[in-house]
Chain A
Amino acid sequence: MLRLFTSVEQEMKGCLDETDGNRLSLGDRKPNRFLYKIGVFFCGAAFVILIWYVITQWYNTYMAEMILFPGPVETFERLREFFTTDYKIFGQSIVDHTKASLGRWIKGFTIAAIIGLSFGLLMGSNNKIHEFGMVPVNILQLIPGLAWYPVTILLFGLNENSAIFIIAITVISPIAINTANGLRKVPKVNLRVASMSGRSKSDTFAEVLIPFAALDILSGLRIGIANGWRMLISAEMVVGVALGLGFAIHITTGYIDYASAFACIVIICIIGLIIDKVVLEVLENYVRSKLGMEE
């Protein structure tokens, strides 16, 4: 039995007759939440693809003059060609474009995480620094990533460092803000417990402040990593460096190779999903259970 749609309550009800104590051992009757979630995900994804298909049909029937709108079938067919034939976009295979984007993303995010975390920890540990530090952080937050175009061109010229700069500069503020907020949210009473027990400042920081703030810090990193990915694709479209998924979308659209552009979008989407849903969500749930904060 898959037990996809049964609730825990139903299963416990089923166990009632088998016990006389206060324990209902569900054993293998546990509802399969994991498969259920995957099922829900695929239903949602199927819905998006259906809408896409409807739009394709409608456009190609009533609006198309020269160029057809690539539907799911054409796009996934192109995706298959990307990986099975030596299909090149601007002289580079899709794997190279993806690798280039991932590399920039990791570099930009790492730089931002180091700066954002240290800034956030500093702001979270002192009120005066927080008041002062929030000003530059807010200014950073208010400037849209691509508006850094002139700055980055001036600093780094037309090369890959420009894209990395744009990611880093937009990712710093959510990480810094969440880290600082997490530290400032730690209940006063727990800090008082530490100080009455004679714990040193550094012990209190490591044993009380950081664990309490861990989830906020993690969610800051999660927002940062997602923002960075989005920013990277747009940055690559503008700071044309002849390599990367953003550039690939830009150039294939220019060549009227829409199916390839759409296939690149699908790749971006899948990578984002894997990072957010698989890596970060699992990590967050793990930390949550470690901290004794699960619902």
Chain B
Amino acid sequence: MGVIDIRGVYKAYYEPNLNEGRVVLKNINLSIRENEFVCVIGPSGCGKTTLLNMIAGFEKPLKGEIFYRDRKILGPGPERAVIFQEYSLLPWMSVQKNVEFSLDRKKYSPKEREKIASEYIEKVKLAGFENSKPNLLSGGMRQRVAIARAFAMQPDILLMDEPFSSLDEQTRRHLDREILDIWKDEKKTVVLVTHSVEEALLLATRIVLLTPSPGQVFKEWNLPAEKESLSSEQMTAFKNDIIKNLGVCACAKTPVTIDTQE
């Protein structure tokens, strides 16, 4: 049993203009194990984000079930924190208040919440900006607040939906490293949706490639957790294989049927 078990999940959206349903995810079976860093990659529109939203509990599968530690997921919960792709801070709250916002008020006293928030603000290297409002921060800094907010919740599993796609390359690499550090530090299970193969290679212990719409699991790769360099022979081999498969699956004209349990 994994932390997250996805069993035979289908998702379709209704398109009113065409009066038809479009299947975005088809028969997804995936088990995410303890302490894994899973990167879901695939061509745009393959349902990566939808899959993540269903794990988070924001959307419900059309068919099939998703389990969190053997409990069926019926809605969002604090054990599954999300870092969103878009700007998700509350603009009228300071950095400190934004991080505190996500903390359980029944579990922690105001003092404790303040302390936890400060701790994580420091971890994402925003100490000194506690009282700034988000509109004064750069895009990278805002996303850091979102990271602090998610980690401060001390979730069991962290879900990230292309969290840095709107940032420049350099900031992005920087934040990837920081995520990696905190992940090693805190031993969490992570699911990251990305369209960047490089990012996936850098972060993941497992990469899952989805086919274009309707999304199905095309292939999976297990990677070592400790990587010296992306340009090492081993990583280059992984990279080439992934890019080759990305090309194959993007060109697949008919829905490919593959055995997902490799």
Contacts and interface: CB of A to CB of B under 8 A. Distances in A.
A211 B90 contact: yes
A208 B81 CA distance: 18
B195 interface: no
Given A192-B58, A192-B82, A196-B80, A292 B91 contact: yes
Contacts of B58: 192, 195
A188 to B, nearest CB: 8
B134 A192 contact: no
Contacts of B81: 196
A193 interface: yes
Interface residues of A, number: 18
Interface in B100-146: 101-104, 133-135
B102 A197 contact: yes
Interface in B132-168: 133-135, 149, 153
Contacts of A194: 101
A292 B92 contact: yes
B102 A193 contact: yes
Interface stretch (B6-14, B70-78, B172-180): B70-78
Nearest to A291: B92
A187 B102 CA distance: 17
Contact of B76 (A195, A207, A292): A195
Given A292-B133, A292-B134, A293-B135, A196 B82 contact: yes
Contacts of A196: 56-57, 76-78, 80-82, 102
A90 B82 CA distance: 70
Contacts of A293: 91-92, 135
Interface string B53-95: 0001110000000000000000111101110101110111100
B82 A190 contact: no
A128 interface: no
Contacts of A292: 91-93, 133-135
A197 B101 contact: yes
Interface string B15-42: 0000000000000000000000000000
B153 A197 contact: yes
A254 interface: no
A198 B88 CA distance: 16
Interface of B: 56-58, 75-78, 80-82, 84, 86-88, 90-93, 101-104, 133-135, 149, 153
Interface of A: 187, 189-190, 192-198, 207-208, 211, 290-294
10 contacts: A189-B84, A189-B87, A195-B75, A196-B76, A196-B77, A196-B102, A197-B78, A197-B101, A197-B104, A292-B134
